[in-house]
Amino acid sequence: MITKIFEPYQLNSIELKNRFVMAPMTRSRASVTGHAPVTLMAEYYGQRSSAGLIITEATQVSMQGMGYSRTPGIYSDEQVEGWKQVTETVHRKGGKIFLQLWHVGRVSSSRVNGLQPIAPSPIIAANTSVYIFDGAPNGDATFIPVEKPREMSKADIANVIKEFEQGAINAMKAGFDGVEIHGANGYLIDQFLRNNSNQRTDEYGGSKENRIRLLLEITQAVTGAIGKEKTGVRLSPFIKFKDMDDPEILDTIMLATERLNELDIAYLHLCEADWDDAPAIPITFRQNLRQKFKNAIIATGNKTPEEGEELLQNDWADLIGFGRKFLTNPDYPERVKKNAALNSITDPHTLFGGGDARGYTDYPLLK
């Protein structure tokens, strides 16, 4: 029986009506010049407000932090105003929504933002691409290789911390219920966590304690600005793509988890591998994580409702994230409750980019 996933959950002072989380999904619909959310994005998120919690697509904290074309930002007044449309629509429909704060680090190209990427160390990510829109006849994204990054100075690191802090403040101005710090999937914070991408010899590199320093300093800055009860962190211990294979990462993540627990943040969000033959996460890892982190745990990674229910019943997670299921089924919780048929992706060309409703806001609701 699938029951617990429909129960409400108290995320500190925020009451979630169920335990479904709409996970972050990059859709590249922001304005071309200002990288601001547009009205269509407000409709898209509003349609999905039956989720207990929506976490937005990754949102860059600066132009330097941008890695893909037409992704939204949270560093300008125009962007804040654009996001207000989204939060007002979601709240009007009874939903709760967090903004995911993002810096891509080395996963970028000057063809995206006109800037050389920055990273903990000047190591290019092998076999890694980003995309731009260069006028392909069908409107498709064009994938291009990332460029070699410049090693970050101490001033760069201090600046990035301030950008995350200001991004969180701007998110509050835009009406969000909280923010999620993106420390997963091979982007900047994850690059600092892993010894194959972080080969620094200062206090931000070398030991595991040093490699988690940037994550903790960003988290402290954000919680100091908006409150620990409104701050979550996303990590991806088992994901190795974007040239991120580090044999020490599980121990590093556990150490980071202990420190994040001390900071008393609202939640820890596990981004888990979502391809069909992905390795299963060991039960011992989930048990250890629960012992080390006392607040909410979100598990996301192509799970069925039944798999999510099992995690909830065993107390290995408190909330379950769904990505593509919400992409194609705006009313996904209702469909699960009624065991109704699910919509499938109508056209893969519309996953990233597009100027109209096709493949974005035109997926039908249950009649």
Domains of the chain: 4-326 (3.20.20.70)
Tens of pLDDT along 233-268? 999 999 998 999 999 999 999 999 999 999 999 999
Closest by Cα among 301, 299, 304 to 315:
299
pLDDT band at 355, cuts 50/70/90? confident
Angle in degrees, 0-180, between the axes of helices 77-92 and 154-173, rounded to the nearest 10: 40
Q: Which residue has the tokens 């490699």?
A: 211
What integer is the mean pLDDT of 283-310? 96
**131: annotated active-site residue:** no
**pLDDT > 90? residue 277:** no
Q: 137 or 100: which carries more pLDDT confidence?
A: 100
Question: What is the β-pairing status of strands 142-145 and 150-151?
Answer: unpaired
Provide the mean pLDDT of the chain: 96
The whole model's pTM is what?
Answer: 0.97
Distance, in Å, from the CA atom of 122 to the CA atom of 295, rounded to the nearest integer, reads 36
3-state helix, strand and coil shares in percent for the chain, rounded to the nearest 5: 35, 15, 50
Distance between CA atoms of residues 68 and 352, nearest Å: 10
From the candidates 9, 44, 131, 187, which is the catalytic residue? 187
Q: What is the pLDDT of residue 281?
A: 86
